Chain A
Amino acid sequence: MNAVEVAVDPFTFEVKTENVWTIYDVGYPVDRLIVEGQAHGGMSQALGYAGLEKLQMRGGAFLQGNMADYTIPTSLDFPATRVQLVENPYPFGPFGAKGAGELVFDGGAPAFALAVQNALGTEVHRLPLTAEAVMTLVHDAGGRK
């Protein structure tokens, strides 16, 4: 389960992430430190995908060619994620474990998009929600509310 709280600036249309929570059931976490670390990292990637990482293609080539214009999150872009694991030993897995891997990447972006949708009162169908994308959404919905 993933929850994201955002604030949208009505003048610059920038989205500021205020709080992030994640709770996962991975059965029994065999190495808790690594599973929690995976959760932090997965959420960081998910939020980058949701809010920053614009990737466009023209004529079969990507327009974003380096780390300066394909911007992944830095340490300053998002607040710390609060991670919790539900210990729920899985009888069919080794040592009660299920997989964790990319599970941690899946929920962050939809949670971020829904948070922005709630803030704007406008449906969101596209990522990433950069300031330009949010401005376009607000404009298409008939202006500032």
Chain B
Amino acid sequence: MIAFTLNGKQVEVEADPLARLLDVLRDELGDTSVKEGCGEGECGACLVLRNGEPLNSCILPVGLAEGCDIVTMAGLRETDRGRALIDAYAREGAVQCGFCIPGMVIASEALLNRDPNPDEAAIRTGISGNLCRCTGYDLIVKAISSAAREGKGLW
């Protein structure tokens, strides 16, 4: 049994400790907010927070989640910070196809937790591990800046 906290709830799964956290989240725990893009740690679509640190769940063995606090988009969207980010992404039109967006929002949350008032260069660095093919990055950068402004005090 591997036990960890998923979005604030205690979960236990019977899984090979070397199984990818991504697969356990999606297939065993039904959390499909985590997306698989490249499956090899390059694109960031499967980004989750482990004890607040952003990690690609496609290359994270579930054994390394044991006893940890895992946050995904499904949990983040229920929080004030998650809602502030979602509103900002919608307001700035920062979503074209949307496949990279759960990972982008997780990266945004991790960035704003570290630096609640980032400039454009800091935002671009903060999301540089997340690939986006069709939105481009300009409006995502604007959205994060807008979230930081409108959601002042949340981070």
| B133 beta carbon closer than 8 Å to chain A | yes
Kindly list chain B residues whose C-beta atoms are within 8 Å of the C-beta of A34.
93, 96
B136–A67 touching, CB < 8 Å:
no
Chain B binding surface SS class: loop
Q: Which of A25-71 contact B (CB under 8 A)?
A: 33-34, 36-38, 40-45, 66-68
Given A66-B42, A75-B128, check contact A81 B93 (CB 8 Å). Answer: no
* Chain A, Cβ-Cβ closest to B136: A44
Kindly list chain B residues whose C-beta atoms are within 8 Å of the C-beta of A68.
40, 42
B96–A38 touching, CB < 8 Å:
yes
Q: Among A44, A72, A76, point to the contact of B125 (Cβ < 8 A).
A: A76
* Chain B, Cβ-Cβ closest to A37: B93
Given A37-B139, A38-B96, A66-B42, check contact A75 B127 (CB 8 Å). Answer: yes
Sort chain A's interface into a size bin. 20 to 34
Q: How far is the CA of A126 from the CA of B37 in the complex (A)?
A: 30
Given A72-B131, A76-B124, check contact A67 B40 (CB 8 Å). Answer: yes
B131–A41 touching, CB < 8 Å:
no
Q: B95: shortest Cβ distance to chain A, in Å?
A: 8
B contacts with A, residue count (CB < 8 A):
29
* Chain B, Cβ-Cβ closest to A81: B138
Q: Among B38, B124, B135, point to the contact of A40 (Cβ < 8 A).
A: B135
**Which residues of A come within 8 Å of B, CB atoms?**
33-34, 36-38, 40-45, 66-68, 72-76, 80-81
Q: Can you list 27 residue pairs at the A/B interface with Cβ under 8 Å?
A: A33-B93, A36-B139, A37-B93, A37-B139, A38-B96, A40-B136, A40-B137, A40-B139, A41-B132, A41-B133, A43-B136, A44-B135, A44-B136, A45-B134, A45-B136, A66-B38, A67-B40, A72-B131, A72-B133, A73-B137, A74-B128, A74-B137, A75-B128, A76-B128, A80-B120, A80-B138, A80-B141
**Which residues of B come within 8 Å of A, CB atoms?**
37-38, 40, 42-43, 92-96, 120, 123-125, 127-141
